[in-house]
Structures are given as C-alpha cells and as structure tokens.
Chains A and B, each alone.
Chain A
Amino acid sequence: MDELLKRLTEAHGVSGDEGEIREILKSEAANLADEVSIDRMGNLVAFKKGTKSGKKIMLCAHMDEVGLIIHNIADNGILKFSTVGSIDPRVLISKKVRIGKKKQYGILGLKAIHLQEPDERKTVVKTKQLYIDIGAKSKDEALKLVNLGDYAAFDTEYLPFGQGRIKGKALDDRLGCSVLLNALKCRYPFDLYACFTTQEEVGIRGAGVAAFNIKPSMALIVEGTTCSDVPGVDEHMRSTRLGKGPAITVMDATSYSNKDMVNKIIETAIKENIPYQMKQSAAGGNDAGAIHISGEGIKTAVVSVPCRYIHSPNSVADMNDYYSTSRLVEAFLKGCE
C-alpha cells in the first residue's frame, strides 16, 4: 500500500478549506523543492531552479476535492447543507461524512424503505431535501459539535483492491498531486513551478492567480479524469478506460490543448514505452481553462489518470495508470529544454 497516497487521499481539503491537505503537501514538497510558498488564494507553489535555462514551466494539480458545507442547523439538531463543487445528490444517500476540524461523524439518512410509498423509491431526491444527522437532539447540542460553515468530506478509507487497483475519495485530483511530488524528485534544465492549486472544483479559481504570479511559458496540468468503462455505457461514450494508461486530452470543456505539446507527449510515451490513450470525450474542465488565457496566453496540455466514479464517495483507479502517468510526466519534462 502506498502510504503517501493513503495520507493524501484521506486528508480533508474541500474547496475553500484546503488547510489539511496543504500542510501535508507542503511538508512533502519542502524536502524536494528549493522553495515552497503559499499565495493569496492559498495555492501551494514548490519551486525548483533549473540547471540550464531560466525558462519557466508550470506543473499543476488541484488540492481541493468536492464535499459539503453546513449552511443551516435546525432546532432539532439536524444539519442542512450545500454541495461544494458538483455532486450528484443521488450518491449522497446513506453515506457517512466527517465534519469540521474535529472530523465529527455525520450521516446522510433517508426515511426507511418500510415507510415509503412504492413510487417514492423511484423519485430523485434533491440536495435541498437531504440532511445530515450528527446524533444531536437540539440546535444547542449540535453547536457543541459543529459550526455553521463547517466543511464536510466523504468518510472514505483508501484501500488497494482487486488486481492492482485502488479505491478512495478525491482521486481527482490527489493522484495528480502525487504525480507532482514524484516529478519534484528530479531537477530539470528549466525552472520548475509545481503548483498545488485551490478551488478548482468551484470554478477553477486558484489556477488563474497562480499563473498570473508565475507567468510560465508552458503549463502541464495533471488531472484525475472521468472513466466510464462500465456496464450500460456505449463504447464511444467511455471517455477513458482503466488500465490503458494516462489519458491525453485534445480538447475539453475549458481548453484546447496546445498541439505541439500534445504531439511531444505522445512521442515521449512511444519512445519510453509508456502506455497511453487519447481522452475520448470533450467533456470536463480543469485548471488549464484558467491558465491558458492568463495574460498574453500560455501553452497548456492536460494529462490525466483515468478514475471511475469521480465526485462520489468511492473512486477507483489503476495503480499502473498512476505509475505510467508519473513516468510520462517526468519523461516529458526531461525532454523540455
């Protein structure tokens, strides 16, 4: 079991509340980089000076994860919440979350099946109707355990399972963060800025600020992307497939990858014998969306670890895909002058 991946994925870091994951990444990066700093949006930037040129390349992965935020505490001690980032309410029913700094347990209950009308089970529950029970009987009792505005993350244990696969929460994009840490182990000819960004899930808000500060000539974004190679999905809708290697994006909802960079990434994969796949859908956005249009424009490309069931309590990824993504990123960077 990869202990670091366990710590990274289990740490809390819902968009706007990235403190815990930032501290872990900061101490890991401090051992590897020349300088580590935090900017005004809370982005963590690890800088590694180049051996030859002053050319600036930005490597990017977001630290934040989707989750919940408590927006109301009722008189009967029940909590009401909003989702932070995009979460399908249907995946929340009957799950456990950990709330606030004290990681108070909360459960998303639902009226027992015995007490439901037959057609009730067929209706889609809206986020507004859901609630969290923390075992408190009154508002006062609840306030001893949680506060208004506390963030809640899925209560998910990281575990390897099946054949070389892992399951956990926030694989999107703690896997990307781990790839960045791996890349920081080397020194490159150019100045490397490894950026762990905030608030990607609520509108790609951290990355633009990081890019404005650094003004790199090029940026490579490492994501955890949708993989829907599961029953009921037509072949052509599967976006990416588990076990087929890192996915390279031509175009997604928020950016069109720079073609020279994409060609170079593919060449590198072939040369180094690293499996890869082309991302088969143009859906999904990520930090590249904000970075490429920063200032006078920045060349960007996106490479992703395929993850099943992102934005839910349990995502699944293939360890080989993760290792391959890491190798591909490092090899690509080494080939940059």
Chain B
Amino acid sequence: MDTKDFLTELVDTPGISGYEESISLKVSSVFERYCDEVRTDAFYNVYGKMTDQIGEGMPKVMLAAHIDEIGLMVKEVCEDGFLRFVSVGGVDQRILPGLEVIVHGKESLLGIIGAKPPHLQIGDEAKKALEMKDMAIDVGFSGEKIKGLINVGDPITFKSPLTTLNGTIVCGKALDDRAGAAILLETMKQLKELRFEAEVYFVATVQEELGTRGAIISAFRVMPDIGIAIDVTHGDMPDASKEETFSMDKGPVIAIGPNMHPGLTKKLMDIAKEHSIEYLVEVEAGPTGTDARAIQISRSGVPTVLIQLPLKYMHTTVETINIETVKKAGMLLARFISSMKEGWREWMNY
C-alpha cells in the first residue's frame, strides 16, 4: 500500500487516547497484508508478527509507534446545545479558536469551536489568550435535539485531512505519531524484500499521549530482546531555536542518552553509514517522552533504540513532515533488523 495513501487514511480515522478502536482496526487490516499474524489486545494495541529464516537463539524485536492522537472530550452538554470540553493529551489552547472538529457521539457531528469576532471584543480582551474552559463547540443543533445524541465523555477529534504542501512535504493532524505507524509499514515493505533472522513484532501502541500506557502493557506482553521506538521530534520552525530543532531533509533522527542502549544505538548508526542513509543525532538527557521510556525498563529490561521523524508544529492540526524521511527511516530499520545475525547479543554488552 502506498505510504501517502496509508497516511491519508490514518489521518482521517479517529482515535484519541483511550478511544482507539477505529484506528486500531484500520491499522490491523493494513498490517494483515504484510504480516504472518496480526493480533489486537483488550486495549487495542495492534501486534503484527513477521518472521523469515528461523535461527536458534534469534532475537525477538519489538518496534513501537503510537496510533493515538491528542484531541478533546465532551465535558458538558449545555442547555442551549453548546458543548463544553476538556483536552485529552497536550493540546495548546491557542490552536482552538475557529477550528473544525468532529464530535463522536451516537452520530459523528461536525462542530466549530467558536471565536468571538474582533468587532465584539471589549478593551484588552484581544490581548489575552483564550482559555479552554471559556470555549464552546457549536454543532448547529438546539439543546433539545442534541440530548441523547451527544453525551459527557464523547471523544472529539480535529478535522484536518492530509494535505500536500509541496512535493513530499505534507501536513495534517495526528502525524504525531501516525507518521510513525507509516514508518512501521515502510519497514514491513522493505523487510519483505530482505532476508532476516528475527521474530519481529510491529506494535501500534495506544495511549502514548497519556504517558506511554500502551507501551507499558504491550512490552510486558511481547517480552522483546530488542526495542525500537519510533516517534517524532521537532522539525526546524521559524520561531524555535536551532539548538532544539532538526532539518526536514537530512533523514531520520537517532537519539542518544540514558534511555537508549549505547551499543545498540551505535550499531544502528553503523548500519546507516554502511547503506549511505543520512541521519541526524538528538541528545536526550533523561527518560524520553516516547514509548522508549516504558520499553527500556519492562520486566528484566530491554535494550532500546529510538528513531524519530522531524515534524514541524507538533500538536497542532498542521503538523508537517517529509514523506521522504518516512521512507528513509523504513529502509534503515529494515536493514538494521536484517543485520541481526549470530552474535547480536554482543551488541548489548556493557
């Protein structure tokens, strides 16, 4: 399946943290085209298993990318039909005024987060950021009609389909981390063309945005020997410092620091160099805000690497990535897995 098509479908499928049933089904159905076996657990984590040659003592590898997205949730259905809401995951309230959303109740309804026009603002109002507690969603229904259709707790997603800006630069909501799921697919496609000796689990995790919750329980279930977490990092934005952001066209970003196994990470970089795959390096001083955080300390510990896609404007509805980088990351990971032969344990010695 074409990567851009996959991404388009993923971005259009709802799945806020804790409510991933739909996105889980979508991912599962695509994984089935490439994996030997696909399973889903009670929390909607998807596990796609791939094997090729069977070697004794071959490693069990777990790749993880999260499929949940940040969004909103109905907190109150007002008498007049307006909806009050809370955020699910880290939502910057400044992106909300004027946004289109979809409220998933008994039916899915289009909603607008209202914004007061400048003409009606008094004095200093315009100088302050609007707060979420003062905002409301207008679904165009009266209080009576909406009763029963929408309830407290109903999930709300942003409406922002995948849009091509220029060449391979695309934007949309939830690319954090559906782009990571696309890297899983790329890796599967590339791995199908290579020989490898490993039991590989492609895990689409849930509830990462609430604290890597899906990764905690899926790593416990899989019990991998090697962990590969796939997430996004900051692409260079005009209003952020160069120190904290990465170029959009120099390849994926490999992380180093206490959360990543140094020997394993070095091996990943060696493979990149061997196959002339460009990459950048990000230094993370503590447990990262990704599934790697949970995987590394699961049960007896799992040596883990973290690979990230530069993404601009994270946690907005206009998250921007370079599809080329998705493909490069997939190539790198497939070659990495394919290079795991006898003696792979030595990569993890201290």
Residues of B contacting A19 with CB < 8 Å? 350
> Which residue of A is nearest B348, CB measured?
A40
Contacts of A82 in B (CB 8 A): 283, 285
In contact, B258 and A202 (Cβ under 8 angstroms): yes
Which of B243, B258, B302 is A40 in contact with, Cβ under 8 Å? B302
B350 touches A22 (CB 8 A): yes
In contact, B258 and A84 (Cβ under 8 angstroms): yes
Whether the Cβ atoms of B257 and A41 lie closer than 8 Å is no
Residue B214 lies at the interface, judged by CB distance under 8 Å to chain A: no
Please give, as numbers and ranges, the residues of chain A lying within 8 Å of B256 by CB-CB distance: 148-149
Contact between A16 and B297 (Cβ–Cβ < 8 Å)?
A: no
* Contact call A72/B243, Cβ cutoff below 8 A: yes
Query: A199 to B300, alpha carbons, bound, how many Å?
Result: 15
User: Complex formed: what's the CA distance from A129 to B103 in Å?
Assistant: 44
Kindly state whether residue B140 has any CB partner on chain A within 8 Å: no
In the bound complex, do residue B300 and residue A202 qualify as a contact, i.e. CB atoms below 8 Å apart? no
- How many A residues face the partner with a CB closer than 8 A? 29
A208 on the B face (CB < 8 A): yes
Q: Tell me if B257 and A16 are in contact (CB < 8 A).
A: yes
- Residue-wise, chain A 20-53 has the 8 Å CB interface mask toward B (1 for contact) of 0010000000000000001111100000000000
Q: Are A69 and B285 in contact (CB under 8 A)?
A: yes
A15 part of interface (Cβ distance < 8 Å) = yes
> Which of B262, B281, B283, B349 counts the most chain A CB atoms within 10 A?
B283
Q: Given the known inter-chain contacts A149-B257, A205-B296, A208-B297, please indicate yes or no for A40 contacting B283, CB distance below 8 A.
A: no
Closest A residue by C-beta to B256: A149
With a cutoff of 8 Å between Cβ atoms, the chain B residues found around residue A84 in the complex are 258, 285-286
Decide if B287 is an interface residue (CB 8 Å cutoff): yes
On chain B, the number of residues with a Cβ less than 8 Å from chain A's Cβ atoms is 22
Whether the pair B301, A70 counts as a contact (CB closer than 8 A) is no
User: Cα distance A205–B282 when bound, in Å?
Assistant: 21
| In the complex, A83 has a CB within 8 A of chain B | yes
Q: Given the complex of chains A and B, what is the CA–CA distance between A213 and B287 in angstroms?
A: 21
Instruction: Find residues 275-320 in chain B having any chain A CB closer than 8 Å to their own CB.
Output: 281-283, 285-287, 296-297, 299-303
A71 within 8 A of B: yes
The complex places the Cα of A83 from the Cα of B350 at a distance, in Å, of 23
Q: Is A241 an interface residue (CB 8 A)?
A: no
Secondary structure dominating the interface of B = loop
* A77 CB, nearest partner CB in chain B, Å: 15
- Chain B residues positioned under 8 Å from A202 (CB to CB): 258, 285-287
Residues of B with C-beta under 8 A to A41: 296-297, 301
Contact partners of B299 in chain A: CB under 8 A: 209, 212
Give B236 Cβ to nearest chain A Cβ, in Å: 14
Interface string of B240-268 (1 = CB under 8 A from A): 00010000000000001111001000000
Is A203 interfacial (CB-CB < 8 Å)?
yes
Please measure, in the bound complex, the distance between the C-alpha atom of A83 and the C-alpha atom of B282, giving whole angstroms: 15
**Given the interface contacts A69-B285, A83-B285, does A39 sit within 8 Å of B257 by beta carbon?**
no
Closest chain-B Cβ to A85's Cβ sits at a distance in Å of: 8
A70 touches B300 (CB 8 A): no
Residues of A within 8 A of B348 (CB): 40
Taken together as a complex, chains A and B put the C-alpha atoms of A83 and B258 apart, in Å, by 12
Nearest-neighbor residue (CB-CB) of B241 within chain A: A128
Known contacts A85-B286, A208-B297, A209-B301; 17 additional CB pairs below 8 A are A16-B257, A16-B258, A17-B258, A19-B350, A40-B300, A40-B303, A71-B285, A84-B286, A148-B283, A149-B256, A149-B281, A199-B258, A202-B286, A202-B287, A203-B286, A205-B258, A212-B300
A-B contact pairs, 17 of them (CB 8 A): A16-B262, A22-B350, A39-B301, A40-B301, A40-B302, A42-B350, A69-B285, A70-B283, A71-B282, A72-B283, A149-B256, A149-B283, A202-B258, A205-B258, A205-B296, A209-B297, A212-B299
| Chain A contacts to B: CB under 8 angstroms | 15-17, 19, 22, 38-42, 69-72, 80, 82-85, 148-149, 199, 202-203, 205, 208-209, 212-213
| A-B pairs with lowest CB-CB distance, top 7 | A16-B258, A40-B301, A82-B285, A71-B283, A209-B301, A149-B256, A41-B301
